[in-house]
Amino acid sequence: MNTRVLSILSLVVLVLISAVGCAGENKLEQQVNMQQQQIQALAAEVARLDSQQQSGSYLDSGSIAMASSGSGSYLDGASSGASSLDPMYTTPAGFQTPAKDIQRALKVAGYYNGAIDGKIGPDSRKAVREFQTANGLKSDGVVGRQTWSKLKVYLQG
């Protein structure tokens, strides 16, 4: 959020600097009003993005998005009990898997001890990296197709 606030403040400073150079008072007032509306719109967007970040529907530091949807096709026919309201883990390449299923599988496999809350944070990513290393996969902490093909086995049977 600090970067967004700085961007808004920079915009305000630029508006004030440009407003000082304007000749007509009426024109100046119009420009200030227009800039205030733009600032309010930007502030509303910052608030919306902050709300998304707090709810977990944002791109985190590992470039993993959380979105609310679910297709059920992620297990190739196996049932995990995932709800369509469970947060989805999405890789940068677009591969999606319910986040809770990742945590459940990691827990069953013995790599994760945290809560099954659907939030892929540092502990979940560490568990993914350890699982990947142990299974001869690239240890990047991202559950892509190859990692999921080996990890989903722990949810079956």
pLDDT tens sequence across 111-141: 999 999 999 999 999 999 999 999 999 999 9
Rounded Cα distance between 90 and 54, Å, is 17
Number of Cβ within 10 Å of residue 17's Cβ equals 9
pTM for the predicted model, two decimal places: 0.49
Alpha-carbon distance values, 146 to 30, 64, 78, 132, 150 (Å): 57, 16, 17, 9, 7
pLDDT over 70 (residue 153): yes
Confidence of residue 42 (pLDDT cuts 50, 70, 90): low
Rounded Cα distance between 126 and 3, Å, is 27
Q: Any residues with CB less than 8 A from the CB of 86 and at least 6 apart, and which?
A: 68, 70, 98, 99, 100, 101, 118
Average pLDDT over residues 9-25: 62
Rounded Cα distance between 47 and 93, Å, is 28
